[in-house]
Amino acid sequence: MTIYICKSLISLSLKNSSHLNKTPICLLSLRFFSSSPRTPIAVADYLLNRHKFSTETASKVSSIVKYVKRPEETDSILSFLQESGFSDSHLELLIKRMPRVLSANLERTIKPKIKFFQDLGFSSSDSAEIVSSNPWILTTSVDNRLGPSILALKSVLGSNMDDVSRILKKSGRLLTFDLVKTLIPNVDFLKSCGICSSQIARCVCTYPTTFTLKPTKIRECVKRVDEMGIDRKSKLFLHAIRAISSMTKENWELKLELLKSLGFSEDDILSVFRRQPKVFTVSDRKIKEITQLFLSTGKCDISYVVNNPDLLCRSVENKLKPRLRVLEVLESRNLLLKMPSLGTVCRITDKKFFEKYVLPYSNEVGELFVVKKTSLKAEICA
């Protein structure tokens, strides 16, 4: 094949001698071979053998992208990210979530975004965590979206970049929203409702995506919360907005129907919402399971659940069931002088529960609390 090419080049040179007086045959030959495309490498082989990625990552990425077309350029991308503070776990997470990073333009797409976070004062590890968890940031414009959105967050939270960093590590996809058109008008409206800036800032830190809703949606939610009788000065007002905004009206109606089927009256439902709006963000399965769990003890009725709605937000398997089972055994063996309030028992810390209801009766109930026992004993002894 090589001989054939060379003969073809010589023949061409005889026909175009004037042109080749300027360009030697050997240079034409070099140009021919250097312009031939590099051989692509199968993604799985590239990740496993060339960069020692996990089998899981290689398998997932190769199901989306089959080949690395320019291995040397992809090497440069991975090297740059490593030099910028990305650990192996960051890189694995990044390419699993966005395999096309492997073929991105390093100079135009990746470097400007990393530099953007560095210039703002983010640490290398924070930048890596934010980008790897939400790699869509790499496709977002610095000037039109990232920069204005960061400024919007800072205007609400203050100049403390630690708060901004915490929010973005928790929900980096915030930067894919236009916060100038959502966050800012929503915050301004809530302030006009009499809600203080510090309370809004705390809620932004806890539930940031709520503030990415359209301003018309937030206004509608405020109206509904007002109609349900929660005072705007109450700390629960913003939580109520978040609860209502998290579901469609159809899902809201389904939640009401569920509560009614469990024995809650309309007044009970309103009372639960006013006391603990968060209940309405809990899954239907969990609400049903916890309600039935307390009713099955024979020690409380629906009114007890209504008066202690925060119990509906507790962990069933890790907190409620083990504790109620311990109390059941202690009571059946007459080891309790006085039956404690179920609400109190379910609210105290694991350490206090262990010290009061498990440690003194370890022979009777120790095995029921074995999951928590080891760590709690170590904590107590310390």
Quick one: 161 and 236 in the same domain?
Answer: yes
Lowest-pLDDT range of 122-136, 162-176, 266-280: 162-176
- Examine the domain organization and report whether 47 and 114 are in the same domain: yes
Query: If 0-12 CB within 10 Å is exposed, 13-18 middle and 19+ buried, where does residue 147 land?
Result: middle
Q: What is the pLDDT of residue 14?
A: 42
Give the pLDDT score at 169: 87
Task: Provide the β-strand partners of residue 42.
Answer: 67
Q: How does pLDDT run across 51-109, given as a tens digit for each residue? A: 999 999 999 999 998 989 999 999 999 999 999 999 999 999 999 999 999 999 999 99
- If asked whether residues 109 and 99 sit together in one domain, one would say yes
Phi then psi for residue 42, to 5 deg, are: -55, 135
Q: 260 lies in a domain?
A: no
Boundary (domain end) residue, out of 246, 272, 296: 246
- By residue range, what is the domain housing residue 125? 39-139
Q: Are residues 152 and 166 in the same domain?
A: yes
In a domain, 262, yes or no: no
Residue 339 covered by a domain: yes
Q: Per the domain annotation, does 287 fall within a domain?
A: no
> What CATH number does the domain containing 126 carry?
1.25.70.10
Tell me the per-residue pLDDT of 236-248, one tens digit each, with 9 for 90 and over.
999 999 999 999 9
Domain check: are 46 and 17 in the same one? no
Could you tell me if 242 and 144 lie in one domain? yes
In the predicted structure, residue 252 carries a pLDDT above the cut 80: yes
pLDDT at residue 286, rounded to an integer? 96
What is the model's pLDDT at position 370? Answer: 56
Do 135 and 161 reside in the same domain of the chain? no
Whether 212 is covered by a domain: the verdict is yes
Domain boundary among 203, 229, 246: 246
pLDDT in tens, 112-121: 999 999 998 8
Whether residue 177 lies inside any domain: the answer is yes
> Which pTM value belongs to this model?
0.76
- pLDDT on residue 172: 76
Mean pLDDT in the chain? 85
Asked whether residue 314 is assigned to any structural domain, the reply reads: no
State the pLDDT confidence band at 175, using cuts at 50, 70 and 90. Answer: confident
Residue 263 lies in a domain: no
Are 146 and 107 found together in one domain? Answer: no
Note every long-range contact of 121-128, with CB atoms under 8 Å and residues 24 or more positions apart, other chains counting: 121/161, 122/161, 122/165, 123/85, 123/165, 124/84, 124/85, 125/85, 125/87, 126/165, 126/169, 127/84, 127/85, 128/81, 128/84, 128/85, 128/86, 128/87, 128/90
Say which residues have a Cβ less than 8 Å from residue 77's Cβ, sequence separation at least 6. Answer: 101, 102, 104, 106, 110
| Mean pLDDT value of segment 172-177 | 84
Count how many domains the chain has: 4
User: What pLDDT score does 369 carry?
Assistant: 62
